[in-house]
Amino acid sequence: MRTKLIAGALILMSMSACQQKTKSVNNPLLEVWSTPYQTPPFTSIKPEHYRPAFDVAIKEAREEVDAIINSKDKPTFDNTILALSDAGDKLGRIMGVLYNLDGAETSPELQQFLEDINPIISDYSSYCNLNEGLFKKVKAVYEGDESLNAEQKKLLEDTYIGFVRSGAELNEEDKKKLAAINKKLSECSLKFGQNDLHETNAYTMFVENKEDLAGLPQFVIDAAAESAKEADKEGWLFTMHGPSFGPFLKYSDNRELREKIYRMYTSMANHDNEHNNTEIIRNIVNLRLEKAKLLGYKNYSSYQLERRMAETPEKVNAFLSELHEKSKPAAQREYNEVLAFAKKNGFKGELQRWDWSYYTEKLMQEKYGFNEQDIKPYFELSKVKAGVFTLANKLYGVEFKENKSIDKYHADVDAYEVYDKDGTLLSILYLDFFPRKSKSSGAWMTTYRDEKKVDGKRVIPFVSLVTNFTKPTKDTPSLLTFREVTTFLHEFGHGLHGMFANTTYEDLSGTSVYRDFVELPSQVLENWGAEKEWLDLFAVHYQTGEKIPEELVKKLIRSQNYLAGYLSERQLSFGINDMNWHSITEPFSGDVKEMEDKAMSPMELFPPVDGSCFSTGFSHIFSGGYAAGYYGYKWAEVLDADAFSVFKKEGLFNSETAERFRHTILEKGGTEHPMKLYIDFKGSEPSVDALLERSGLL
């Protein structure tokens, strides 16, 4: 069985999927799927199907691994490395559905089932990774003289190193310790994510008096009214989902309510209740430290970064420090400017975090004449979707065709066939846009099946993009903020990485790359968001059909570096906080908030807020795949700014440039070292200057 971390703002675990040979046993999770392209038959899968299917699949997975171990044949690439890669395919298909649904359409039954089987999955993983007989066979192939091509060598190397890093060379006593650690870590990470989802749904702010809505745009008021109606209330209900609390902080004239919703949002999973994540954080970081030391590393960041472009914690910290030195002076100037503006407009006292969005939005309107509310009518979701599809078509020649016969897990989901420029089917794409109680917050890309080749024929991937965009109301369609537009582009960039994958082995396919490289395809696509050439292709007023005015686009472009220093410092603070948690060398038993404040204080401009704690909701590093890796977003900014400079020079829609990017990066997955792939595209290593210049920080 293989597991794969999928890129995005939220990371989900996914596993390999392939055609099944099992005959029908009246359980859709075990049957050959007779759906279009063998896509998952979501509506046929019921809670009672999970456990029987899992029991069958986990048993078959063990038997497949045992067959490799017990084989009397000389270990070869095919009978060992490839056989191991394919082992547990049925289990992978089942768990791919389960883990993805747990993020996008969960239920109490699904959450309980995952809690029940998590220890079994951990045991199976340890059985494979710590198996002396299996490792001997892998090592024999690794040290052998078999003639292999470049991709085979890369899969062999990754497999061997994966075993070593998983503890295959430990003594039996330490292997048992490591297996126990991995099981506890799995349980803690799952619980962290469940607590985060529960708190997101549990906390709301109800407004009864209409005068308390002063300053809020009509779309925010309408959405809150519909949320209240869904909750059988008369009034307006604001939630902890981004499209609700974010606009409230930005536009509400009621400072008291801004403070209330801010404190509510930033204290999630830090309350004195059963969903508090502070003790889970202590357990996770201590278990990770114990694991790293058991494997011979001084801390967890050293262990993680060994297989990253950055290579060492020292390089990461130097990188973050360099950007901090460039960003902090600009951030301080921006803070002073906003404070002066607020005081000019009657503000008295100390500027607090719940004041920041409110006054920065008003200053942006005064400074650039740009009001995000002016541009939202031109970003109706269906038009933006058409614009994103058109961008992919102009760059790569691909076409998107909706297929309503493909089964979906929720009515909000749309499914598309994606065709390459030569007319061949490239991928299936699922799009799931709106928030709901059964969906985790944030945005992410994942897969239900990864690309690979079987008998020389490409098996198409099933790619899914999941977001939490502004919902339509009874009077207004979904109108996106500019940030939501760039989020769409970001996740679609990850999607292209998965859809264009063209490798032989799924372990090297698509987003199976170093964590600090995986954000390049996503972040580079964001750059088109503020380009007039792209906006002119789709952005029309949802009521009048009027093309987006040129002057409005100019205002948008001029505002792009607004608060660049502050936003850089904020992102750096997340990365430094992550590195701090994973650089401990002794077990941590202190106060989580104090630990966090110590790490993030150099980047902070505001006084601390009692009860708030960022780490208790930091799912990227505590329930996702970004532990000691969150710096990768800034690292990838360097890559994407440098890469986009090529498109700016050679043409935004230059097909030759796009094809080079596709063939050197998007198709290659993890078949080669990412720096080589980047140099193959650009012709040189990336420079931080492109990022600093784009951000106005030079």
Catalytic residue IDs: 491
Between the alpha carbon of residue 36 and those of residues 28, 39, 447, the distances in Å are 14, 6, 16
Cα(322)–Cα(687) distance, integer angstroms: 13
Cα(13)–Cα(625) distance, integer angstroms: 8
SS (H, E, C) 503-565: CCCHHHCCCCCCCCCCCHHHHHHHHHHHCHHHHCCCCECCCCCCECCHHHHHHHHHCCCCCHH
SS (H, E, C) 580-644: HHCCCCCCCCCCHHHHHHHHHHHHCCCCCCCCCCCHHHCHHHHCCCCCCCCCHHHHHHHHHHHHH
Token duo for residue 48: 């009672």
For residue 94, which of 48, 44, 40 has the smallest C-alpha distance? 40
Backbone angles phi, psi at 411, to 5 degrees: -60, -25
Contact at 8 Å (CB) between 243 and 435? yes
Cα(14)–Cα(448) distance, integer angstroms: 7
Helices (H) and strands (E) in the chain, counts: 27, 11
Cα(144)–Cα(131) distance, integer angstroms: 20
Place of tokens 């944030």: 442
A 10 A CB-CB count for 67 gives: 12
Report the relative pairing of strands 414-419 and 457-459 from DSSP bridges: unpaired
Q: Hey, what's the torsion of the CAs at 293, 298, 299, 304, to 10 degrees?
A: -90
Cα(424)–Cα(35) distance, integer angstroms: 19
SS3 (DSSP) at 431: strand
Contact at 8 Å (CB) between 93 and 1? no
* Helix 89-104 vs helix 108-129: crossing angle, to nearest 10: 140
Cα(446)–Cα(436) distance, integer angstroms: 18
Total length of the chain: 698
Helix (H) or strand (E) holding 238: strand 236-239
Cα angle 345-348-354, degrees, rounded to a multiple of 5: 85
Scanning 171-241, the segments in alpha helix (DSSP H) are: 172-202, 218-230
SS3 (DSSP) at 360: helix
Token duo for residue 62: 């063990």
Burial class (CB in 10 A: 0-12, 13-18, 19+), 601: exposed
Helix (H) or strand (E) holding 30: none
Place of tokens 């890369």: 154
Burial class (CB in 10 A: 0-12, 13-18, 19+), 23: exposed
